[in-house]
Each structure stands twice: as structure tokens, then as C-alpha cells.
Amino acid sequence: MRAAYINKYGDNTVVQVGELPVPTIGDNDVLVQVKAAGVNPLDIRIRDGKLKQVLPYKFPLMLGNDFAGVVVAVGSRVKSVRVGDEVYARTDTMRIGSFADYIAIHQDSVSQKPHNLSMNEAASLPLVALTAWQILVEKAHVQKGQKVLIHGGAGGVGSIAIQLAEYLGTFVATTASAADSDTVKKYGADQVIDYRTEDFSTILSDYDVVLDTRGGETLQKSLTVLKPGGQVISVNGTPDADMADEMQLGALLKLVFTAMSFRTNQKAKKLGVKYSFFFMKPSGAQLAKLTKLFESQKLRPVVDKVYPLESVKDALAYSESGKAKGKIVIRM
Ligand SMILES: NC(=O)c1ccc[n+]([C@@H]2O[C@H](COP(=O)([O-])OP(=O)(O)OC[C@H]3O[C@@H](n4cnc5c(N)ncnc54)[C@H](OP(=O)(O)O)[C@@H]3O)[C@@H](O)[C@H]2O)c1
């Protein structure tokens, strides 16, 4: 089958498109013919080798962390899907590789694809929609009437997180360029801060939850816009001890992450707020809940550019530019 893969970590020059064997499936696995795959900044981090201690993959390593496609084979214990079903999913964390004609995945990671969406649209969703769901619904339990700040509203995560926060009945503030102000308002943002010319931390206060997609100074300042008891959940900040436990990374990495997040945790403690790092997980069950929201058009996909597999390097370069509006998709 055709696949985009790497044999060593590095920049775009290490990415190859070529022939690799079709993955084999176990009793609980599903084999999916991939029709389209989402491109995520995570693909770049994995390609660069920045996550090799946390995610120790083997080479050749196929790239790609989410997809939509058609089930072509199922293992003997698979109950939830059948051959011919149209599905979408975030790949199993240690079994990535959706920039390929076929992918094997555990049945629990897969959901039926929203019937009203194209394969390209559905492929744009799993990783970012699950990230938004797991943070806002599962972790922060945001409630109607609360105030939520979402950084990077025009990006892949932001474009879905704003819609979900709005659907949950919260007041939503977001940071974006002035040029994207109308777009993020259409997603449901109530207040837009131009991150290039304004300092959100001098404008916003008393927030319940911040979903931080930027890290660094944005994360530090985010702690100051919370009400007492509020929380910043970052997908791009310093990993913490809880993450090391959750991912079973061992005592050494736990110590390293504790040290890395020490300053942020101390600052949060002083302010009476909470900081946590978050790494999303595959979940077919949560994706099935999101499917209903997409089918009832409470949430809508936002696809920016679509590339053929042969142009995977261009797709990755566009993602790396940090300029994507919504999602980038690779069609097979
Ligand atoms: N830990 C996890 O589980 C997890 C899950 C999902 C994503 N992530 C991480 O979250 C980050 C965001 O992901 P994404 O898919 O949303 O990325 P993305 O789509 O590449 O984000 C691009 C968008 O970010 C905007 N942007 C850039 N700098 C900004 C700033 N300082 N303030 C506000 N907006 C800014 C850009 O707007 P302009 O063009 O106007 O600059 C662009 O619209 C990435 O680092 C990704 O790796 C982590």
C-alpha cells in the first residue's frame, strides 16, 4: 500500500512516500481503507523526534494521527463495526500511520462517521474534536454560564473548541488575528482579542477555564485571568507529573516533568488556581457523542486546505507555518 513514512527523525526531507505492507489486525482490531487523513501539529513533533521519549515509535514510522475511511476487515472479537461501515477515528496512540491506504485500529477507538459529512470533512475532526471534548466536557466539566477562554481560536483545535464551548452555553473569549475576528465570531466566540496588538491578560478576568493551545508566556498570563478555583488546561505547555502517571512514563520522566512544571504550579498555587497539562486520547465512545453533534449541525467541520498524499510534504509545511485556518486534510 502507499504510505507516507520516515526512517529517521528530522525535518521534511526525511519524509518519504512509498510502498509498505498493509498492517495486520488482531482479534479486537479493525482494518480501515483510509479515504482521508487529518494533518495535526502533532505530526510535525513526531517527525522531528521531539516526542521520542514519551512515544517510543519504531521505524519505518508511518505518519498521521486521525482519519476517515471504510472498514474492509474486522477481527474475530469485533462487535461495534462491520465491513463496509464508514468510520472515523484518532489512531491508537502507539499505532499511528493514517497517511496510508490502510490502517489497523482497536475497535474501541473507532466511531461511525457523521453521515452528513464528506470523508475529507470527517477526517479533519477526530483529534481536535476529541481534544476539545476531553478538556471542556470530561476534564473541566464546564457548565452553562461559565466563562471560557480559548487560545488560538482560528486554528484546528480552536475552531471546534469554540463551537463546543458555545454549544455548552458558556461565554467564550478567544485570541486570534484581527483578520480572523469575524470567522471566530461565526464559530460562536463572544469576545475576540487580537493577539498581535492586544494583551488578553489586561482585558479579561474572572474566567473559569482557559484552554491553552500556545504555552510559554500565553500560559503564564492565562493563570492571571482566572477566578479563584479556575483552571488552565494546556495542550502545549510543560508536561506535569499527572501526565507522566497517566501515560505510565516511569519515575525518571515523572521527576523531569515535575521539575519542568514547578514554576507554573507554584504560580498557580499562589493565585489560588490550577494548572494541568493534557494529552488527548483516542475514544470511539466520545467520538460517537460528537458524531451526533455534527449530524445535528450543532458543530461543523472547518477544512482549510486539502492535499493529495503525494504532496504530504507541502501539507506538513503548511501546518508547520502555524497559519492554518481550521484543518488541513490529506486525501488518499
Ligand atoms: N496535547 C494534546 O493532546 C494536543 C491536542 C491537540 C493539539 N495540541 C497542540 O495544540 C496546538 C494547537 O493545535 P492546532 O491544531 O489548533 O494548531 P494550528 O491549527 O496549527 O493553529 C494555527 C492557528 O493558530 C493561530 N495562532 C498562532 N499563534 C497564536 C497566538 N499567539 N495566539 C492565538 N492564536 C495564534 C494562527 O493564527 P494566525 O495565522 O493569525 O497567526 C492559526 O490560525 C499545537 O501546538 C498542537 O500540537 C495538543
Mutate to test the pocket of ligand 1, among 157, 199, 210, 275 (most ligand atoms within 8 A of CB): 157
pLDDT digits (tens, 9 = 90+) for 155-209: 999 999 999 999 999 999 999 999 999 999 999 999 999 999 999 999 999 999 9
Dihedral angle over CA of 133, 148, 324, 199, nearest 10: -160
Architecture in CATH for domain 128-277: 3-Layer(aba) Sandwich (3.40)
What pLDDT, on a 0 to 100 scale, did the predictor assign at position 54? 92
pLDDT digits (tens, 9 = 90+) for 266-283: 999 999 999 999 999 999
As a whole number of angstroms, the distance between CA 213 and CA 241 comes to: 19
Domain layout of the chain by residue ranges: 2-124+301-331, 128-277
Please spell the DSSP secondary structure of 143-205, one letter per residue.
Answer: -TT-EEEEESTTSHHHHHHHHHHHHTT-EEEEEE-GGGHHHHHHHT-SEEEETTT--HHHH--
Nearest CA to ligand 1 atom 10: 213
What pLDDT, on a 0 to 100 scale, did the predictor assign at position 284? 98
Q: Is the dihedral of CA 62, 65, 68, 69 positive or negative?
A: positive
Please spell the DSSP secondary structure of 265-309, one letter per residue.
Answer: HHHHHHHT-EEEE------HHHHHHHHHHHHTTSS---EEEEEEG
Is ligand 1 within 6 A of the CB of residue 278?
A: yes
Question: Which range is least confidently modeled, 50-59, 126-135, 194-203, 240-249?
Answer: 240-249
Is ligand 1 within 6 A of the CB of residue 322?
A: yes
Nearest CA to ligand 1 atom 4: 235
pTM over 0.95: yes
What pLDDT, on a 0 to 100 scale, did the predictor assign at position 224? 98
Q: Ligand 1 center to residue 73 CA distance, Å?
A: 35
The model's confidence at residue 212, banded by pLDDT at 50, 70 and 90, is very high
Is ligand 1 within 6 A of the CB of residue 279?
A: yes
What pLDDT, on a 0 to 100 scale, did the predictor assign at position 265? 96
pLDDT digits (tens, 9 = 90+) for 215-270: 999 999 999 999 999 999 999 998 999 989 988 899 999 999 999 999 999 999 99
The model's confidence at residue 90, banded by pLDDT at 50, 70 and 90, is very high
What pLDDT, on a 0 to 100 scale, did the predictor assign at position 255? 94
The model's confidence at residue 77, banded by pLDDT at 50, 70 and 90, is very high
Across the chain, mean pLDDT equals: 97
Mutate to test the pocket of ligand 1, among 90, 124, 213, 318 (most ligand atoms within 8 A of CB): 213
Residue 251: helix, strand or coil by DSSP? helix
As a whole number of angstroms, the distance between CA 247 and CA 244 comes to: 5
The model's confidence at residue 309, banded by pLDDT at 50, 70 and 90, is very high
What pLDDT, on a 0 to 100 scale, did the predictor assign at position 287? 98
What pLDDT, on a 0 to 100 scale, did the predictor assign at position 117? 98
The model's confidence at residue 89, banded by pLDDT at 50, 70 and 90, is very high
What pLDDT, on a 0 to 100 scale, did the predictor assign at position 50? 96
What pLDDT, on a 0 to 100 scale, did the predictor assign at position 156? 98
Q: How many C-beta atoms lie closer than 10 Å to residue 26's C-beta?
A: 11
Q: Ligand 1 center to residue 216 CA distance, Å?
A: 13
Q: Ligand 1 center to residue 332 CA distance, Å?
A: 25
First-to-last alpha carbon distance for the chain, in angstroms, is 11
The model's confidence at residue 83, banded by pLDDT at 50, 70 and 90, is very high
CATH of domain 2-124+301-331: 3.90.180.10
The model's confidence at residue 303, banded by pLDDT at 50, 70 and 90, is very high
